[in-house]
Amino acid sequence: MKQHKLESGPLLDHKGRLLEAGYHTSLIKTYDRNLVKNKRLRLKEWDYYYIGNKDYGIALTIADNGYMWLLSATLLDFNTLSEISKSKMGWVPFKNFNMPATSKQGHVIIEKGNWKISYKHDKHRRHIEAYIPNFKNKEPLIVDLYLDQTIDDSMVIATPFHKPTKFYYNQKINILKSMGYISLGNETFDFNECYGVLDWGRGSWSYHNTWYWSSLSGKQNDKYIGFNLGYGFGDTSKASENMLFYDHKTYKLDDVKFDIPKTGKTFDYLKPWKITSKNHMIALEFKPIYDRKSYTNVFVIKSDQHQVFGYFSGYFKVGNETIEIKDMIGFAERVENKW
């Protein structure tokens, strides 16, 4: 697969069409939401953070999806194999969230009722704060984390859909290193030396999509390692979204396939998966421990989500080098949305 690397310039033309499809390691294209067609119904903008370790994790979402908005927070406990998730959703945000046009600068500060989630750039750091009331036993969840980017590169892809004014501009920043704490009542969770990812998305999507995504961020043998693997939506003939980050080096990867076990037509998400490539350069086994699942069917919105956490082992062959990983925690997901 020959993959096209993006050049600098605007993302969209004056008709809202994607000017160039491909990948990069930074947000080299300039995004302007004013050029997006049918913004009220089809524009989707979100910032999603996941930070964690082998014991627990936190996921936070701010999303402005045109005709609806969403705030969500999930605290996961991998020792008890449990989670607490809360979300707040509303329809038709006539005054949108004004999500930044780039992940490099700008703040996102949203208050809805007693909820507050903010993402701020504090010099060279990201400052994540949240106050989620009545999270457990009427106690609030309080998040106060700083995130440092440990590597310069990230995964960036500009993907077209079948219709010319539909596109997805996406960045995944892996191996974000955290400092700080999360509190819930009398419990305090130490998030110093945890690792995670930012999923930054801007686009005008088609209505029905199914995607596969896997992400890992951490440190093994004193070397940073992370990856982004995925597929399933849009036309990815110009580039995949697959990338490996290892020891401050970045490797562009080819196609991947998620082999999720099934019983009949039903996915067995908690049985071991395999993630491989046609060229045999990627061979990973994923041993799930927890399925963070969610199902929504409200009016025109239907969502069936399985974000599965577990341990990855296997290898990547890049150039003349074989990079092995063993029992590193991350997640892999399959999501079907009608939105």
Strands 9-10 vs 29-30: parallel, antiparallel or unpaired: parallel
What are 83-100's pLDDT values in tens digits?
Answer: 999 999 988 765 678 899
Q: What is the model's pLDDT at position 44?
A: 94
Q: What is the model's pLDDT at position 93?
A: 60
In the predicted structure, residue 150 carries a pLDDT above the cut 80: yes
What span, in angstroms and rounded, lies between the C-alpha atoms of 332 and 330? Answer: 7
CA 63: distance to chain centroid? 12
- Residue written as tokens 């003349």? 320
Residues 208 and 337: beta-carbon distance below 8 Å: yes
What are 236-267's pLDDT values in tens digits?
Answer: 999 999 999 999 999 999 999 999 999 999 99
What are 219-241's pLDDT values in tens digits?
Answer: 999 999 999 999 998 999 999 99
> pLDDT averaged over the chain?
95
Nearest to 253 by CA among 219, 277, 218, 220: 277
What are 305-326's pLDDT values in tens digits?
Answer: 999 999 999 999 998 999 999 9
pLDDT band (50, 70, 90) for residue 299: confident
Write down the architecture of domain 9-208+218-255 according to CATH: Beta Barrel (2.40)
